[in-house]
Amino acid sequence: MSSLNLDDFSDLIERPDGGVRRDAEARRERQIVPPGSLGRLDDLGEWLAAAQSAVPVRPIERPRVVLFAGDHGIAELDVSARPAGSAGELVREVLEGGRPVSVLARRLGVPVRVVDMALDTDPETLPEDVVRHRVRRGSGRIDVEDALTLEEAEAAFRAGMAVADEEADSGTDLVVLGDVSVGGTTAAGVLIAALCGTDASVVTGRGGLAIDDLTWMRKCAAIRDALRRARPVLGDQLQLLATVGGADLAAITGFLLQAAVRKLPVVLDGVVVAACALVGQRIAFRAPDWWLAAHDSGEPGQAKALDRMALEPLLDHGVRVGEGAGGLLALPLVQAAAALAAELPEKPEPAVEEEPEKEE
């Protein structure tokens, strides 16, 4: 029996300040560029003002990429273009600066934090600050067994909450949230299909490396089989994450909800994070008000999840690589919206002509 009461999040999470948003809208109407002429940037600026409870909005000065990492046992079925258990190699490449997220982060001056939750690799091969939250080595094969025990799911969920608190306490003002996983998109597809009440084929995508037709069919079958195991536990979100999620997915869900509690805006990257956000919405319906969808990755499951949460992606570049890369591409757009909302001058007040004095 878990000691974690997920119902508390519904009471703890408030919506961004509606009064401040109205003040931001009024300020926008007074600026020299007509309202609506900046498109989504107007909405973004007003959303940021409400999230920050500040008019004019403050610039995004301390963004950070946070990536939760893990290997998934379902990858043993050859549902991914990468070999099972190889997520640790991706993590090392991120840390060494050789992945797309590393290049973009360097260019944008954004620090990257990687959190190992269930990599199938020796912890001694990675830095201590990466592995200190690890729950287990790899997650279970969800078509035939649970990904985690309930105790492991709770530990991973709480680790995600702890990381959100650490980021909020350190002054991070916006998080680009992603994953580094092998088999993670399969687990994400199961969660989305279960929560949206749809079939496996509707949510099964090609993954970051565009798998071939035979691999896609294996992935679809794996999601179908895991979906049968997911449906009986749909009423208990922590049990759902334990049954068909994984330690990295449980941690991402905990991070998302605690970030909303701490009023820390989050940019969502990719289908894995979208699936966790969908679980988070089931737990606390106001939580998505604190999240932005960075981009449309082309994964059908991501589109399904974002539509269910009424989140419209900022970009559509077909970036499927994951690891927060698409989220980082959206970051300059968010920063531009903040700058325009804060720095565009207001229209001068019309001069009031004095009436001539009447002669007696």
Residue tagged 């994953």 (tokens)? 179
Q: What is the pLDDT of residue 301?
A: 93
How far is the C-alpha of 353 from the C-alpha of 265, rounded, in Å? 46
Does residue 323 carry a catalytic annotation? yes
The H or E element that residue 215 is part of is helix 213-230
**Predicted local distance difference test score (pLDDT) of residue 77:** 93
Task: For residue 177, report the phi and psi dihedrals to the nearest 5 degrees.
Answer: -105, 130
**What is the per-residue pLDDT for 321?**
81
Query: For the chain, which residues score pLDDT lower than 50?
Result: none
Are the CB atoms for 176 and 314 separated by under 8 Å?
Answer: no
Sheet with 291-293, strands from edge to edge, namely 112-118, 63-71, 174-182, 266-268, 291-293
Closest C-alpha to 250, from 85, 114, 139: 139
d(CA 14, CA 230): 30
Output b/e per residue, 181-193; b: 16+ Cβ within 10 A.
bbbbbbbbbbbbb
Domains in the chain, please, with CATH? Answer: 63-335 (3.40.50.10210)
Give dist(CA 181, CA 119) in Å, integer: 8
Separation of alpha carbons 99 and 118, rounded Å: 20
Tokens found for residue 121: 């690799």
Query: For 81-118, how does the pLDDT look when each residue is reduced to its tens digit (9 = 90+)?
Result: 889 999 999 999 999 999 999 999 999 999 999 999 99
CB 143 within 8 A of CB 225: yes
What pLDDT score does 317 carry? Answer: 84
Q: Cβ neighbours of residue 26 under 8 Å, at least 6 residues apart? A: none
**Helix (H), strand (E) at residue 118:** strand 112-118
Give the pTM.
0.94
* Segment 178-223, tens digit of pLDDT: 999 999 999 999 999 999 999 998 998 876 666 788 988 999 999 9
Catalytic residue among 152, 154, 167, 323: 323
Residue 47 exposed, middle or buried by CB count within 10 Å (0-12, 13-18, 19+): buried
Tokens standing for 314?
């900022």
CA distance 294 to 65: 13
Alpha helices in 231-268 (DSSP H): 237-244, 247-261
The C-alpha atoms of residue 181 and residue 64 are separated, in whole angstroms, by: 19
- Nearest CA to 182 out of 322, 320, 85 is that of 85
Is 33 in a helix, a strand, or coil?
coil
